[in-house]
Amino acid sequence: MLSHLSRRRFLQGSAATVAAARAASMWPQSAMRIASGPFQPTWDSLKAHYKTPDWFRDAKFGIWAHWSAQCVPEQGDWYARKMYMQGDPIYDWHVKHYGHPTKFGFMEIDNLWKAEKWQPEQMMQLYQAAGAKYFFALANHHDNFDNYASTYHPWNSTRIGPKRDIIGTWEKVARAHGMKFGVSNHSSHAWHWFQVAYGYDAVGPLANQRYDAATLTKADGKGKWWEGYDPQALYAGRTDLAMPDGVNTIAAQNAWHKDHDGKWHEEDPPQNPHFSELWFLRCKELFDKYNPDLVYFDDEELPFGDKGLSVTAHLYNTSVARHGSQQAVVFAKKPGPNHMGGFTLDIERSRSTEILAEPWQTDTCIGDWHYKRSLFEQHKYKTADTVIALLIDVISKNGNLLLSVPVRGDGSLDEDEHAFLQQLASWVPVHGEAIYGTRPWKVFGEGPPEPIEKNFSEKTRPHTAEDIRFTEKGNVIYAFVLAWPTDGKVRIKSMKRGGEHTPASIHRVEMLPKAAPLKWTQTADALEVTMPSDKPNPYAYVLRITT
């Protein structure tokens, strides 16, 4: 059971949440106002005016630094949540290395994040050399910590942890390298995702003692590193999704999490509507201070109904004011049929099975979203071969690839990541003619179907010379052959003599990057190309077919 002091503080926190829910907006109307322009905060307006800009369609490839304090323990994604879930391996690791979450909660990890080895200039050089045309930085995650100079949220990287403007620094460095700059905003989910911090152990010597979020108040910081900061502002305030008393087995607690705070809530917090107002203001300030070219929302459609519509319209209108036309890109997931076209579709850790009429993006990572040391030590990152094949498949279907390369808590990349980026640099830029500025051909490719699902499915299979993908630019068709032919010949069935998609004429076939001419012939079955005697690279092979 809760101690008398813990119970009093827990109930005080609950009363404060209810009081906040009843309060009117504490922000002046001027702060909530959006920029004027053609975009109004309605789906009809966003759909009528939004268009994914051509610069994005030309760029094809971006790299993402999904980096925050959750990288400090080097234990992988969702550390800030799993450390509060008894029975999870991360909970056990946290207790062993830092202490019990009644005493050492995630706010302490925020303070440990110092970014002491961060060299953004050198990292951007590596990303650009690897072929990235745009760069994304993590503005905040579900752990509710802002990586920028936030006026509205004191729990941010300029005051705590690195004590640096992470987003501001990334933005300046990316633009200095001529790259488009994007930010990802995941904080709309903090109010339900972080309810575990108000929970307790089901079993053991500290069973039923609430974790730090349930007991700490601003007054408790006196004389400590967090003096003047309210932990409730970080942990987002207790709601009815927090574990009730009396759930006394780990299995029962896991079931509670699955059915309550573990669900992907998209609605306003029913007991704390102030949270979504604050989210709006933090997001609007992020856009106004750093002028991102791209914004990723980790949400189905847009966060918080009217507030998501308003801040998105604000970004689009400010883009129009700066550029004379809307040039900003907003990504979200799973649009409903009546909301298609108000933003650009993102498919997380998967891809389309066909050419989509509108541009889209897949986002994925070579490891875990937050840095996981064991993946490095066991050399289990995605290989360059896998990522290059993914990039080729995605662009053949009118998509872009956003690739996260995890960053250690100290701000550095490990040796395998350096090697991986060098491998990309050896292939992507030198084949850029077939990638950047291209569009899908009449068909995306050939070969047996890939084992693709809609989201969170990265199954693949070994490729053969039958696996071919296409792009085009002007009078040139590019054929990407994903494996070297065992008999020295590539057969492109989509270009057989008299075929449905066959070009009216083919003048020459060459191998990139040196444009070496190749022997070819058209038969009733395929365009048959004789490949060189030696492989030009270990990854994929690009034929330039001039029509």
Token digits of residue 308: 């998501």
Cβ-Cβ contacts under 8 Å for 436 (sequence gap 6 or more): 58, 59, 60, 133
Residues 421 and 449 in one domain: no
Which residue type sits at 311? V
Same domain, 108 and 228: yes
From 321, 436, 534, 319, select the one nearest 330 (Cα to Cα).
Answer: 319
Q: Do 422 and 453 belong together in one domain?
A: no
Which CATH number is 83's domain given? 3.20.20.80
Contact 494, 501 (CB under 8 A): yes
Q: How far is CA 340 from CA 183, 185, 237, 331, in A?
A: 22, 21, 34, 12
243 belongs to a structural domain: yes
Strands laid side by side in the 541-546 sheet: 445-446, 468-473, 476-481, 541-546, 508-511, 516-517
As a whole number of angstroms, the distance between CA 213 and CA 386 comes to 42
CA distances from 55 to 52, 388, 391, 474, 492 (A): 9, 21, 17, 17, 30
Is 49 domain-assigned?
no
Query: Three-state DSSP class for 530?
Result: strand
**Domain's final residue, options 373, 396, 426:** 426
Question: Residue 296 falls within a domain, yes or no?
Answer: yes
Cβ atoms 91, 106 nearer than 8 A: no
Residue 48, CA distances (Å) to 51, 89, 341, 368, 433 in order? 9, 48, 8, 37, 33
* Residue 185 in domain: yes
The pLDDT of residue 284: 98
**Smallest Cα–Cα separation from 108: which of 83, 89, 87, 90?**
83
Between strands 527-530 and 520-522, the pairing is: antiparallel
Count how many domains the chain has: 2
Mutual angle of helices 166-176 and 274-290, in 10-degree steps: 30
Here the CATH number for the domain that contains residue 483 is: 2.60.40.1180
User: What does the pLDDT read at residue 27?
Assistant: 76
Does any domain span residue 386? Answer: yes
| Run of H or E residues at 254 | helix 250-259
* The two structure tokens encoding residue 457: 């499915």
Helix (H) or strand (E) holding 162: none
Structure tokens at 198: 């108000």
Listing DSSP states for 460-527 in one string gives -----TT-EEEEEETTEEEEEESS--TTSEEEEGGG-TT-SS--S---EEEETTTTEE--EEE-SS-E
Per-residue pLDDT of the chain (547 residues; tens, 9 = 90+): 334 344 444 334 443 443 443 345 677 788 889 999 999 999 999 999 999 999 999 999 999 999 999 999 999 999 999 999 999 999 999 999 999 999 999 999 999 999 999 999 999 999 999 999 999 999 999 999 999 999 999 999 999 999 999 999 999 999 999 999 999 999 999 999 999 999 999 999 999 999 999 999 999 999 999 999 999 999 999 999 999 999 999 999 999 999 999 999 988 898 888 999 999 999 999 999 999 999 999 999 999 999 999 999 999 999 999 999 999 999 999 999 999 999 999 999 999 999 999 999 999 999 999 999 999 999 999 999 999 999 999 999 999 999 999 999 999 999 999 999 999 999 999 999 999 999 999 999 999 988 886 677 788 889 999 999 999 999 999 999 999 999 999 999 999 999 999 999 999 999 999 988 999 999 999 999 999 999 999 999 999 999 9
Judge if 485 and 399 occupy the same domain: no
User: What does the pLDDT read at residue 118?
Assistant: 98
pLDDT number for residue 4 = 39
At which of 398, 426, 454 does a domain end? Answer: 426
Q: Could you tell me if 260 and 380 lie in one domain?
A: yes
Pair 191, 338 in one domain: yes
Q: What is the pTM of this model?
A: 0.94
Residues 159 and 287 reside in one and the same domain: yes
3-state secondary structure of 400: strand
The residues facing 295 across adjacent strands are 183, 330
Q: Are 512 and 540 in contact (CB under 8 A)?
A: no
- How far CA 487 is from CA of 49, 257, 447, 495, 534, in Å, comes to 52, 55, 17, 20, 12
Indicate if 399 and 454 belong to the same structural domain: no
Q: Are 217 and 9 in contact (CB under 8 A)?
A: yes
Domain boundary among 393, 426, 459: 426
Phi, psi values for residue 494, rounded to 5°: -70, -10
416 lies in the same domain as 469: no
Token pair for residue 489?
């010949």
* 422 and 450 share one domain: no
312 with 461, same domain: the answer is no
Tell whether 75 is covered by a domain: yes
Give the domain range for residue 390: 4-27+58-426
453 within some domain: yes
Per the domain annotation, does 439 fall within a domain? Answer: no
402 and 351 together in one domain: yes
